[in-house]
Amino acid sequence: MEMDKLVSLCKRRGVLFQSSEIYGGLNGFWDYGPLGVELKRNIKEAWWRDMVTGHDDIEAPPGAPEAYEMCGLDCTIIMHPQVWKVSGHYDLFVDKMVDCTESKKRYRYDQVPGRWVEAKGQKVFVTTLAEANHAQEIEARALKFFNLRAKDAADLAWQGGLVSLAKIDPAEYVKVLAPEAKALGTLTAPRDFNLMFKTIVGALGTEEDAAFLRPETAQGIFVNFKNVLDSSRVRVPFGIAQMGKSFRNEITPRNFTFRSREFEQMEIEFFCHPNSSLQWYQYWRDRRFRWYTEMGLSGERLQLREHHQDELSHYSRGTADIEYAFPFLPAGEFGELEGVAHRGDFDLRSHMEGKLDPNSKPDLKVELGEDGKPKWKGSGKDLTYRDDITNERYTPHVIEPSAGADRATLAFLCEAYHEDQAPDDKGEMQTRVVMKLHPRIAPIKAAVFPLVKKDGMPEVAQKIYRELKKRWNVFYDEKGAVGRRYRRQDEAGTPFCITVDGQSLQDQTVTIRDRDTLKQWRVKVEEVSAELAERLK
Ligand code: ATP
């Protein structure tokens, strides 16, 4: 599937719009249209239902060491600034960026691919911002730079494969052709760029009033750990879930909604005994992977990638990414949908004691500032847990499955897009665009049509529509040829179309048409709701 087709369908059918489009748009911000908002809500609701409210806390699910409880939270986007100092985001949540003195553009250096090439006795690192066909783009730029024609491409001596600018020693930046520059050596040395959006709380507007928009929802859960323990009857092991907006001032937002500056996360912090934390990690990794497959992401485009030992922070006993082969990525590359991390007691201990130094081996120690005092103080509150049966007191370990609602939505959209051949109103085969979304997440569950706008058919159809509307988001349409109406619903991913025709008036049956198989069958009017309920499961 070509990404352009999906992007244009999203705009044409009201799934996604560029934010503030009438003013030229704002890079990295996206609005969900009438269809998109339903799709994303359904995804979030499916997640909440499957992970939280629908979770059976009496019996251990397959693969889990024991039964566990789940509950939810909804925390604020702006929190006490100390939260981010202690969590490490204030000091460490940075990307390296480089500035181009010619184009005045700023780039994240690990996201600028390029390749060394030599011609006319000069060696140059040619970069590109192209999202696909990197090799072609780089060759075109190299030819232009060396003043060569396409037929002289053989004069370009390539050295090594495609690597990111992050792999280039800044001392060699004099030989770099920046993505939007004509001259060499226009990039500045890489600098840290904090990704948190800053804002001011209160009227004084001084630096002491600076606060941050949360870059993740997780911290709200950690700082409420004690509140949840004290106000509910949960016992370890248990999980707290939260979904909501997060903000990151990404240097190069791109790939549609994949890397946005405002996005939604769906996160769980699962608290367990240190002795069983590895088993819980494995359970959550597999459970979360399975969730995507249950919701319709196919095997070959979805993968679970366990991080290598040397990729892990030393307090972590495992991290895995659930990844999807998005069509905008080069062949064979995957993009992260969700990270599942074993975080040990790092977060709770940090909020108790102060910012822990993730590099202090073998045990985590509070990080000291230049004055030898703790760099950022913790809350000083006791965030340990006492098991009232064994009387043991400990700091629970945390497993964190952290997903993005927008990336999940994008993956489901990519997976759903299909083109096939189907007969039109005249019986001629035409290319049909159909979004094969899982019925649980489809924005519209069913559409109800009168075959024609006369003979009492609209009245029957409207009655069915109103009945179904009590339970689901259904759509009524009486305009135009019925084949055209089917096509519009196929594009919207509506799993079923219900049509009232001449026979309906005789025998009180209607046809139901299946979006994917195109099969039609007749059902009694009074059984439509039950039939739909069964098929939408
Ligand atoms: P990446 O490496 O792609 O920037 P990350 O590892 O920083 O992602 P996490 O901090 O683990 O991401 O965030 C958890 C989830 O939140 C990600 O798996 C992703 O689904 C989502 N997410 C993170 N950053 C963004 C973003 N800029 N736009 C959309 N979703 C995001």
Please say whether the beta carbons of 225 and 270 come within 8 A.
no
- CA-closest residue to ligand 1 atom 23: 404
How many Å lie between the centroid of ligand 1 and the Cα of residue 326? 15
Contacts of 371 (CB under 8 A, 6+ apart): none
User: With a threshold of 0.75, does the pTM exceed it?
Assistant: yes
Spatial distance between the Cα atoms of 505 and 525, rounded to a whole number of angstroms? 10
Each residue's pLDDT, cut to its tens digit, for the chain (537 residues) gives 789 999 999 999 999 999 999 999 999 999 999 999 999 999 999 999 999 999 999 999 999 999 999 999 999 999 999 999 999 999 999 999 999 999 999 999 998 999 999 999 999 999 998 877 788 999 999 999 999 999 999 999 999 999 999 999 999 999 999 999 999 999 999 999 999 999 999 888 888 889 999 999 999 999 999 999 999 989 999 999 999 999 999 988 889 999 999 999 999 999 999 999 999 999 999 999 999 999 999 879 999 999 998 888 878 889 999 999 999 998 889 999 999 999 999 999 999 999 998 888 778 899 999 999 999 999 999 999 999 999 999 999 999 999 999 999 999 999 999 999 988 878 889 999 999 999 999 999 999 999 999 999 999 999 999 999 999 999 999 999 999 999 999 999 999 999 999 999 999 999 999 999 999 999 999 999 999 999 998
Spatial distance between the Cα atoms of 290 and 370, rounded to a whole number of angstroms? 47
Spatial distance between the Cα atoms of 343 and 270, rounded to a whole number of angstroms? 10
Spatial distance between the Cα atoms of 169 and 235, rounded to a whole number of angstroms? 51
- In the numeric block, which tokens belong to residue 131? 């999202």
- Dihedral of CA atoms 490, 491, 494, 495 in degrees, nearest 10, equals 50
How many Å lie between the centroid of ligand 1 and the Cα of residue 404? 6
How many Å lie between the centroid of ligand 1 and the Cα of residue 196? 13
Spatial distance between the Cα atoms of 425 and 428, rounded to a whole number of angstroms? 7
Spatial distance between the Cα atoms of 331 and 413, rounded to a whole number of angstroms? 18
Atom of ligand 1 nearest to the CA of 267: 14
To test ligand 1's pocket by mutation, which of 336, 342, 406 has the most ligand atoms within 8 angstroms of CB?
A: 336
As a residue count, the chain comes to 537
Beta bridge partners of 423: 429
* Pocket lining: 263 vs ligand 1, CB cutoff 6 Å: yes
- CA-closest residue to ligand 1 atom 24: 259
Half-sphere exposure of 374 (CA within 13 A, CB side): 16
Spatial distance between the Cα atoms of 345 and 397, rounded to a whole number of angstroms? 5
Please say whether the beta carbons of 117 and 126 come within 8 A.
yes
Hey, what amino acid is at 30?
W
Quickly list DSSP for 392-436. Answer: -EEPPEEEEEEEEHHHHHHHHHHHHEEEEEEE-TTS-EEEEEEE-
- In the numeric block, which tokens belong to residue 185? 């050596």
To test ligand 1's pocket by mutation, which of 302, 328, 407, 413 has the most ligand atoms within 8 angstroms of CB?
A: 407
Strand-strand pairing, 446-450 and 429-435: unpaired
